[in-house]
Structure 1
């Protein structure tokens, strides 16, 4: 699995550079817009380091895109089928949570399926971002427990529970348990998002 994660880290760096250049942004301009240092952006683009989920979300916001749309652009050519061994896996270096992109790439569907394994005690908070307008997600918990904060509302999820949330709202994911939480994200983008 480490080779799969390393390969995706390189794809993330290449995609970040491609999107930055497509918008005519210098490293300095993206650093200023995102609050991420120029040196860190350069290291990510060269595949020397893996960005944390929070750092990558800040870069995506500065680029006017969402984290999920950003990951969709690191995909391989279109196919209606994706074997488990071909599903890109990314590990957040800060919390250790593992994100697997399950959906076949390039199908034109507005729905993405994502599998997540969230370590015990881990916490990730995403600030509200306008780039996520029109994107919603269902979180369906299979194992463990999760505490979610969506805007001002708080939820305690147990196996089998499902939570719907708009991504434009600030969201905090936290695993208060002693075992990993495993869940699916069913993400839907409004046409044109």
Structure 2
């Protein structure tokens, strides 16, 4: 089963790399242009477009900001066909292994999504920081299903325990941290402004 999941992740990374390259080409931008707009080195961008590396959540967030998309919108663009129903076994899973983050796209993918559900899992001690929202003013609802999560929104820190839910609009940096000895699992509901 693990080998199948890794192969699926590699296939997603390959399609994602091709989509990132296409988005850049659609705008007539060079790697240098995207590097300047995102703060990501040209070599890292090139390696991500060629699927030589699996992009981190932070890197994808920066690229989503450059291309004006949420992460789910970008990931849905690498799916073959939008569906109305996605069975649990078919939901797209993406991993940032270095950060200890697993992201499951629960909502059926569609390019015109305004709202979506995502399941997030952070390993104990995981610390995931985003320097900007992919779309300014993005509305998010974070509902902790298991564990404890500390969420920093700009300068405000919120501790969420099992069952707690926080609603916010994202205009600046955010930081998700697993503060317990066990994994934190949460639902993230995202609504475009």
2:148 touches 2:159 (CA, 8 Å); kept in 1?
A: yes
Q: CA contact under 8 A between 1:79 and 1:107: conserved in structure 2? A: no
Aligned-residue CA RMSD (Å): 1.7
Change (3 A) 1:184 1:151: same
Note if 1:149 corresponds to 2:149. Answer: no
Match of 1:170 among 158, 173, 180: 173
Residues 67, 168 of structure 1: alpha-carbon distance in 2 compared, 3 angstrom cutoff = farther
State the distance in 1 between where 2:15 and 2:55 align.
Answer: 12
In the alignment, the residues of structure 2 paired with residue 137 and residue 161 of structure 1 have an alpha-carbon distance, to the nearest angstrom, of: 14
Structure 1 segments (4+ residues) deviating >6 Å: none
Hey, what does 2:187 align to over in structure 1?
A: 184
Structure 2 unmatched ranges of 5 or more:
none
Q: Residue 20 of structure 1 aligns to a residue in which SS?
A: helix
Query: Cα offset for 1:153?
Result: 1.4
State TM-score, norm by structure 2. 0.90
Q: Structure 1: which 5+ runs fail to align?
A: none
Deviation string, structure 1 residues 27-55 (Cα, Å, up to 9, x no partner): 12112222212121111111111111112
Q: Paired residues, what number?
A: 189
1:90 equivalent to 2:91? Answer no
Residue 6 (structure 1) aligns with:
10
What's 1:58 paired with?
A: 62
**Distance 1:137-1:75 versus aligned 2 partners, 3 A rule:** farther
Q: Provide closer, same or farther for how the CA distance between residues 107 and 66 of structure 1 changes in structure 2, counting only shifts above 3 A.
A: closer
Deviation of 1:178 after TM superposition, in Å, equals 0.9
